[in-house]
Amino acid sequence: MVSVSEGLEESKAKTRQVFAYFVPLTFLVYLATPVGYLLDIGTSYLLKNQLHASATQVATFRLLTGIPLYFSFAFGLARDVWNPFGLRDRGYFLIFSAVTAAVYFVLAFSAVSYASLFAGVFVAMFAYRFITAAYQALLALVGQEQLMSGRLAALWQIVGALPYAVAGFGAGYISVHLRPGETFIVMGLLTVMLGLFGFWKPRAVFSHAYDQPVARGSTFAGDIKRLLKHRAAYPAVLAMLLFSFAPGSNTPLQFYLTNDLHGSDAVYGYFSAIFTASFLPTLFLYGYICKRVSLNKLLWWGTIITIPQMIPLALIHSANLALIMAVPIGLMGGIASAAYYDLAMRACPPGLQGTLMMVVEGVYQLAYRGGDVLGARIYNASPANGFLNCVIVTTIVYSLILPVLLLIPKELIATADGQANPAMSA
């Protein structure tokens, strides 16, 4: 008979093995993604400086190349019903890393034009959706099966933030020192490295993972019906939609820092990196307290703290001051970010982890990019107060998350991470 202490030690060892797998996987997934700063900032400056695009044109490019993102649910549904090579999620890593890397290498050696850049980024977005679907579904599945959605949400956000911080600084350097083709070569090599995860199958992650009840779906029609009737899914999706709709945080901020405050092209990348890195302390805090505090309390705390997050941006008068203010702005968003993803992972119906997680992902990207287009228009509409108006709209939208929290089924968020939830198990 295994003693209590031996059981606890075995559980800790398994948790460490799970972390050892997801830490490098998460890092590469978010470093090689076409949605990330490394490619996004590089292409935005290519459009702005070489192709002479306006703020609205850059935002529109981001919106249109992101079309595959808005239909992410289809990629998640494909993940839940298609098992490539019998390898499940690892099959997606193998196949679509190769496809995405090939697209990056083609872009690297193609002539720079709006048409070629648009086509390449669009295809890369499409192929990479399958990788993202497999990654997020696997993360949610393990989180549900091993009662560690909170810790995995924190790990996901912490490790996922590191590539954005690295890429933010790197993109600032790249925009000044590297040719566009060299950026695409770097992206291709990173994606090849990601594909190697298709060959790794640690027992702590994959042993009987797809055999458990929470991993089993039904028929295609039955799965769709279950998803639509799953009450917990709607507030999880709506909270993420509102949280990601921030008209002042992307293109308007980029043009505000460089044009209005006369910062260099690199300053927006530096701001993005500092902002993202500043999430880390509160994300680590979330990983610690989620085992001691119910998700219900964490959702309320995080939302109240993050509502005024963007207000400091309205007070800046220089690009250097913006870099300083990026720290408190980032700190204010960490708890909410982890809590919303924790909620999404808990809300997944059995066998539909890929579908719901990619619905959340698609809503996130649509709101983020749609808010960016709206923000660009608000910014251009008022030369004197355009950016201030963007910040006001963002703050109002964040405050609307509070009533959404009242719609979440209480039993879903009543427990802390790692605590058994008999109501949800039933």
* pLDDT band at residue 134 using 50, 70 and 90 as cut-offs: very high
pLDDT at 317: 79
pTM of the full predicted structure? Answer: 0.82
pLDDT at 175: 60
Please report the sign of the dihedral spanned by the C-alpha atoms of residue 262, residue 267, residue 269, residue 271. Answer: negative
The CB density around residue 155, as the number of other CB atoms within 10 Å, is 21
Task: Report helix, strand and coil shares of the chain as percent, to nearest 5.
Answer: 80, 0, 20
Q: What integer best gives the mean pLDDT of the chain?
A: 86
DSSP H or E segment with residue 372: helix 353-381
* Span 249-260, pLDDT tens digits: 778 888 888 877
| Pick from 18-27, 80-89, 217-226, 325-334: least confident | 217-226
Give, in degrees to the nearest 5, the angle at Cα 178 between 250 and 113.
Answer: 70
pLDDT at 339: 95
Q: Where are the alpha helices (DSSP H) in 33-66?
A: 37-45, 55-65
Cβ-based burial of 285 (10 A; exposed 0-12, middle 13-18, buried ≥19): middle
Provide mean pLDDT across the span 48-56.
75
Q: Which residues contact 305 (CB under 8 A, 6 or more apart)?
A: 332, 335, 336
- Euclidean distance between CA atoms 22 and 44, whole angstroms: 30
* pLDDT band at residue 25 using 50, 70 and 90 as cut-offs: very high
| Pick from 46-60, 237-251, 341-355, 357-371: least confident | 46-60
Contact of 312 with 325, CB cutoff 8 Å = yes
- Kindly compute the dihedral angle of the four CA atoms of residues 400, 402, 406, 408, in this order, to the nearest 10 degrees: 90
| Pick from 162-171, 172-181, 332-341: least confident | 172-181
* pLDDT at residue 426 is higher than 60: no
DSSP string, 180-220: HHHHHHHHHHHHHHHHGGGG---HHHHTTTTTSGGG----H
Domains in the chain, start-ordered, CATH in brackets? 16-199+229-425 (1.20.1250.20)
* pLDDT band at residue 39 using 50, 70 and 90 as cut-offs: confident
DSSP H or E segment with residue 368: helix 353-381
| Pick from 194-208, 211-225, 328-342, 386-400: least confident | 211-225
Cβ-based burial of 13 (10 A; exposed 0-12, middle 13-18, buried ≥19): exposed
* Span 182-230, pLDDT tens digits: 788 888 999 999 999 999 999 889 988 888 877 777 677 787 888 888 8
* pLDDT at residue 34 is higher than 70: yes
Range with top average pLDDT, 47-56, 101-110, 246-255:
101-110
* DSSP state, residue 333: T
Stronger pLDDT, 2 or 197, i.e. the higher one: 197
Contact of 417 with 149, CB cutoff 8 Å = yes
Residue 170, CA distances (Å) to 124, 230, 231, 370 in order: 20, 42, 42, 26
Q: What tokens were used for 64?
A: 């249109």
- Euclidean distance between CA atoms 283 and 384, whole angstroms: 36
* pLDDT band at residue 301 using 50, 70 and 90 as cut-offs: very high
- Euclidean distance between CA atoms 315 and 299, whole angstroms: 28
pLDDT at 331: 93
Stronger pLDDT, 351 or 96, i.e. the higher one: 96
pLDDT at 170: 63
Provide mean pLDDT across the span 342-354.
91
Question: What percent of the chain stands above pLDDT 70?
Answer: 92
* pLDDT band at residue 176 using 50, 70 and 90 as cut-offs: low
Q: Which residues contact 143 (CB under 8 A, 6 or more apart)?
A: 149, 151, 152, 153, 345, 346
Residue 415's identity, in one-letter code, is T
DSSP H or E segment with residue 338: helix 334-347
* Strand, helix or coil for residue 59: helix
- Kindly compute the dihedral angle of the four CA atoms of residues 158, 257, 372, 171, in this order, to the nearest 10 degrees: -50
* pLDDT at residue 422 is higher than 80: no
* pLDDT at residue 397 is higher than 60: yes
pLDDT at 425: 57
* Span 268-295, pLDDT tens digits: 878 887 888 899 999 999 999 999 999 9
* pLDDT band at residue 4 using 50, 70 and 90 as cut-offs: low
DSSP string, 275-329: HHHTTHHHHHHHHHHTTTS-HHHHHHHHHHHHTTTTGGGGG--SHHHHHHHHHHH
pLDDT at 96: 96
Stronger pLDDT, 399 or 5, i.e. the higher one: 399
HSE-CB for 80 with a 13 A CA cutoff: 34
Contact of 21 with 204, CB cutoff 8 Å = yes
